[in-house]
C-alpha cells in the first residue's frame, strides 16, 4: 500500500498573465488531497473518493484490458468523472507504458480535506498524485489532460511559497521564496460562493486580452515588491495596482466594485476572476461583514497557507 499527498494552491499574483510568461507568486495550502494505492487480485481498478466530511462522493470500477500495446479501461458507470479518470490514466500510460502494464488491479481511495467547490486544486492534486503513482512528469500529464499554466502542479509539489514562470524552451521555472508578511494576521481568504471554471477564464483571456512586454514587466515588478513588503498599507497599494491592471486587461470590473463597494479595505481576486477565493485585507476580523452579505466562508491567512 502506498499513499501520495499533494498540496492545494492559491495564486496571489500573475493571474492570466502567467500564461504569457509573467512571474506569478503562488502559495501551497494546508488543504490538499491524498491518494492511496492498494494492489488487489483482479484486473480491476476499484475507485472511491472521499470528501472533507469523509463521505464517498464518487465511486466506480474500471476493467483493465490490453491489446496490441494499447490500454483499455471500461468503466462500470460512465459518468463524466469516470471519463475524465480514464483520460488521465490513459495519458499516464502513454507517458509510461510500464504503468498498468500487468494484469494487476488496484483499490484506489482519495481523500481531500477541503470542499471541492472551493477551487483549491481538486484536479491538480489528483493529477500530481496520479503522476507520482505512475512515475510520470506531472506537468506533461497536466498538458495531456486539463491544460493550464501548471502553477497548481508546482504548489502541489512544494511546501513553501514560490515564484512560478513559464519557460517555452523547457520546464517551468520554479523558485521557492520567503513570504511570511509581518501583517499576515490582517489577511483573510473569502470564498465567493461559486466555483470558477479556470478553463473558461483562460479561453476568454486568450481571445480578448492584448498583452505587451510592458504589462508583463509591470506585473513582475508588483510580484517582486509584494514579497518584500513591510507594511500592510504598502501591500494594499500593490494589490490595488495589480487589480486595476488586470481589470483593464480582461475588461472586467473588480470583485470589490461588483460586490463589496462599501468595504473599506482591499480585496484581490486570486486565479480566474469571478469565483473561488479572494484575498482580503482588514485591520479587524471582517467575518461578520461578509456574513451579513451572505458569504459564510472566511479563512484567516495562517489557517490556509502552508508556511
Which CATH number characterizes residue 19's domain?
A: 3.30.230.10
Cell numbers at 1, concatenated: 500500500
How many Cβ atoms are within 10 Å of 273's Cβ, its own excluded?
24
Instruction: Say what the pLDDT of residue 208 is.
Output: 67
Summarize pLDDT for 204-258 with one digit per residue, the tens.
777 766 788 999 999 999 999 999 999 999 999 999 999 999 999 888 899 999 9
The residue out of 175, 199, 221 marking a domain boundary is 175
Instruction: Say what the pLDDT of residue 103 is.
Output: 81
Question: Residue 72 above 80 pLDDT?
Answer: yes
Answer yes or no: do 211 and 69 share one domain: no
Answer yes or no: do 158 and 10 share one domain: yes
The residue out of 126, 158, 175 marking a domain boundary is 175
Answer yes or no: do 186 and 171 share one domain: no
Write down the pTM of the prediction.
Answer: 0.94
Summarize pLDDT for 112-135 with one digit per residue, the tens.
999 999 999 999 999 999 999 999
Answer yes or no: do 119 and 222 share one domain: no
Beta-bridge mates of residue 298: 190
**What Cα–Cα distance (Å) separates residue 33 from each residue in 41, 160, 239?**
26, 17, 29
Answer yes or no: do 60 and 127 share one domain: yes
Which CATH number characterizes residue 233's domain?
A: 3.30.70.890
Answer yes or no: do 59 and 97 share one domain: yes
Answer yes or no: do 144 and 228 share one domain: no
Answer yes or no: do 60 and 151 share one domain: yes
Answer yes or no: do 261 and 203 share one domain: yes
The residue out of 113, 144, 175 marking a domain boundary is 175
Mean pLDDT of the chain: 94
Instruction: Say what the pLDDT of residue 94 is.
Output: 95
Answer yes or no: do 141 and 169 share one domain: yes
Rounded Cα distance between 182 and 20, Å, is: 31
Rounded Cα distance between 254 and 45, Å, is: 45
Instruction: Say what the pLDDT of residue 275 is.
Output: 82
Rounded Cα distance between 88 and 84, Å, is: 6
- Quickly count helices (H) and strands (E) in the chain: 10, 12
Rounded Cα distance between 280 and 236, Å, is: 9
Answer yes or no: do 167 and 276 share one domain: no
Number of domains, the chain? 2
Summarize pLDDT for 1-30 with one digit per residue, the tens.
999 999 999 999 999 999 999 999 999 999
Question: Residue 159 above 70 pLDDT?
Answer: yes
pLDDT above 70: percentage of residues in the chain: 97
Answer yes or no: do 86 and 122 share one domain: yes
Which structural domain, as residue segments, surrounds residue 285?
181-304
Amino acid at each position: 500500500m502506498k499513499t501520495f499527498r499533494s498540496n492545494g494552491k492559491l495564486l496571489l499574483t500573475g493571474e492570466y498573465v502567467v500564461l504569457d510568461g509573467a512571474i506569478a507568486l503562488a502559495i501551497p495550502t494546508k488543504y490538499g488531497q491524498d491518494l492511496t494505492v492498494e494492489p488487489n487480485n483482479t484486473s480491476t481498478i476499484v475507485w472511491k473518493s472521499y470528501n472533507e466530511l469523509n463521505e464517498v462522493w464518487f465511486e466506480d470500477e474500471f476493467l483493465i484490458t490490453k491489446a496490441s500495446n494499447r490500454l483499455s479501461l471500461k468503466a462500470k458507470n460512465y459518468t463524466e468523472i469516470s471519463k475524465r479518470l480514464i483520460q488521465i490514466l490513459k495519458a499516464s500510460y502513454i507517458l509510461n507504458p510500464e504503468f498498468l502494464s500487468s494484469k494487476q488491479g488496484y483499490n484506489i481511495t482519495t481523500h481531500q480535506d477541503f470542499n471541492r467547490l472551493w477551487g483549491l486544486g481538486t484536479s491538480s492534486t489528483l493529477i500530481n498524485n496520479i503522476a507520482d503513482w505512475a512515475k510520470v512528469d506531472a506537468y506533461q500529464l497536466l498538458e495531456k489532460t486539463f491544460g493550464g499554466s501548471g502553477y497548481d502542479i508546482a504548489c502541489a509539489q512544494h511546501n513553501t511559497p514560490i515564484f512560478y514562470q513559464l519557460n517555452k524552451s523547457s520546464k517551468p521555472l520554479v523558485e521557492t521564496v520567503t513570504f511570511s508578511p509581518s501583517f499576515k494576521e490582517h489577511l483573510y481568504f473569502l470564498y465567493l460562493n461559486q466555483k470558477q471554471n479556470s478553463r473558461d477564464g483562460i479561453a476568454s483571456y486568450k481571445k480578448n486580452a492584448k498583452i505587451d512586454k510592458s504589462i508583463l514587466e509591470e506585473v513582475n515588478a508588483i510580484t517582486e515588491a509584494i514579497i518584500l513588503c513591510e507594511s500592510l498599507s504598502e501591500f494594499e497599494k500593490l494589490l490595488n495596482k495589480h487589480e486595476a491592471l488586470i481589470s483593464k486587461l480582461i475588461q472586467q470590473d473588480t470583485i470589490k466594485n461588483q460586490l463589496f463597494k462599501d468595504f473599506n479595505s482591499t480585496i484581490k481576486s486570486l486565479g480566474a476572476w469571478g469565483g473561488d477565493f479572494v484575498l482580503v485585507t482588514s485591520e479587524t476580523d471582517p467575518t461578520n461583514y461578509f456574513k451579513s452579505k451572505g458569504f459564510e466562508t472566511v479563512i484567516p491567512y495562517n489557517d490556509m497557507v502552508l508556511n
